Amino acid sequence: MRWLVVVFIGLCLVLIIGCAKKETELVFAVGGAPNEVDYWETLIREFEARTNYKVKLLRQPTDTDQRRQTLVISLKAKKSNPDVFLMDVAWVAQFAASGWLLPLDELVKRDNFDMSALFTPVIRQVDIYKGENIIAFPVYIDCGLLYYRKDLLARYREPVPETWEEALSSAEKIQKAERKNNPQFYGFVWQGAQYEGLVCNLVEFITAFGGRIVDEKGAITLNRPENVKAVQFMKDLIHTYKVSPPNTFTEMKEEEVRMFFENGNALFERNWPYAWKLHESEQSPVKGKVGITVLPKAEGGRHSAALGGWHIGISRYSDNQEQAWELVRFILSYDVQKKLALNLGWNPGRKDIYDDPEVKQKIPHVGVLKRAFQNTVARPPVPSYTQLSEIIQKYVNSAIAGKIPPSTALQQAQKQIESTLKAYNE
Ligand code: GLC
């Protein structure tokens, strides 16, 4: 008799657990700076309160390459989670070509989802696969910016730089003077570590010097005299002018650079818009002292800003596609997009937020962002981009580390890229 009771209780438990498991739990993968991931937690709790769904946040690192790798492992294995994730603009094409993204066209049509509120050119370029299927939407759009110390430029009577010549001259002068009180002080910090951010910085320097990565016919042409000049300049910033710290090529990613500047140890910083909100936060030593402008240009080139940003998509293998779609719509809603702009300083993927009076008042540098947007340069949106990027990262990092001359680095990278593209038939 007793064992019958035990079996009965056991069966009940299995049933209860089984039912509980059936309650929808969406898994949403997001990464970024720690404050960004924390803010997603807040938003997700809001979504849960509005719906009956549970959402588990899969916290990813800051580094885009690592974020991609963790997603690729699940998607290659056709795992049903994560259901929803953010993708870097740099790898949306690869995810689409791998067939990992749920086409959203039918859902858009069925629910009359108003895509016109979003940045249509970006959608056309990134989120419509092969000009046919909608596979993602922009959550926010990034562009490289120059942050500067307003107080120091004013104290030393130096201008907000328009050219690299001006920037370098102010960096050298102010670094020398500031070192008397702060031996850690540097003129300019930027992302030079061997990772995706280096390619973004490279694209900006190359454009500033009049070069390019993709030619008129869409072919990758890294090895050009202007590009060599740009890489030489990047290397010189560290080794010749010594205005950028020696760990630029070993350690400097977004967050390292952001903290270096925020701690009061640099005059100029290259970073994305997210850094502004943190520089202006209560605990920031540089609060109230930071200005933003477009990245300088060099002779023969122009101002430029690498086009970055993060797009949202649903996994083709998700078991909760309806609920996932609801989460996507929530994130693209006016309300949430405005919160992302105000709380994280992001450039929302929705156009209408930029006219919001509160956003205009609280993000005073909207004009600068607009100017930066006009100068954006995209990375090649090809499915094999990750492989190309890894080659570029490796060679350019070796060049700025002083291990190989810039011209050799670009020549060798070009050769490897050509054979990779051949292997991918692109
Ligand atoms: C930012 C950009 C992204 C870029 C990455 C590089 O997250 O939004 O597009 O690839 O930085 O580190």
272 pLDDT band, cuts 50/70/90, is very high
Tens of pLDDT along 48-77?
Answer: 999 989 999 999 999 999 999 999 999 999
Tens of pLDDT along 179-197?
Answer: 999 999 999 999 999 999 9
21 pLDDT band, cuts 50/70/90, is very low
Average pLDDT of span 149-166: 98
Confidence (pLDDT) at 242: 98
Output the CA 421–ligand 1 centroid distance in Å.
23
Going by alpha carbons, the residue nearest to atom 2 of ligand 1 is: 308
Confidence (pLDDT) at 5: 55
Q: Is the pLDDT of residue 139 over 80?
A: yes
What is the architecture, at CATH level 2, of domain 25-135+307-374? 3-Layer(aba) Sandwich (3.40)
What are the sequence ranges of the domains in the chain? 25-135+307-374, 145-304+379-424
What residues form DSSP beta bridges with 291?
148
Cβ(333)–Cβ(312) below 8 Å:
no
CB-based contacts of 268: which residues, under 8 Å, 6+ apart? 146, 147, 148, 149, 161, 167, 171, 187, 188, 189
Confidence (pLDDT) at 94: 94
Q: Is the pLDDT of residue 4 over 70?
A: no
CA distances from 142 to 63, 94, 184, 231, 399 (A): 15, 19, 29, 23, 26
CA distances from 411 to 96, 222, 384, 392 (A): 30, 8, 19, 11
CA distances from 151 to 148, 155, 188, 208, 290 (A): 9, 6, 15, 26, 8
Average pLDDT of span 142-170: 98
- Tell me the best of 89, 125, 200 to mutate to test the pocket of ligand 1, counting ligand atoms within 8 Å of each CB and taking the most: 200
Output the CA 320–ligand 1 centroid distance in Å.
28
Q: Rounded to an integer, what distance in angstroms lies between the CA atom of residue 148 and that of residue 28?
A: 35
Average pLDDT of span 105-121: 94
Residue 137 near ligand 1, beta carbon < 6 Å:
no
Residue 32 CA, closest ligand 1 atom number: 7
Q: Is the pLDDT of residue 86 over 50?
A: yes
Residue 308 CA, closest ligand 1 atom number: 9
Confidence (pLDDT) at 20: 45
Domains 25-135+307-374 and 145-304+379-424 share a fold: yes
Residue 272 CA, closest ligand 1 atom number: 1
Q: Rounded to an integer, what distance in angstroms lies between the CA atom of residue 155 and that of residue 65?
A: 40
- Tell me the best of 142, 257, 385 to mutate to test the pocket of ligand 1, counting ligand atoms within 8 Å of each CB and taking the most: 142
Q: Which of 96-100, 130-134, 278-282 has the lowest mean pLDDT?
A: 130-134
- Fold type of domain 145-304+379-424: D-Maltodextrin-Binding Protein; domain 2 (3.40.190)
Q: Is the pLDDT of residue 257 over 90?
A: yes
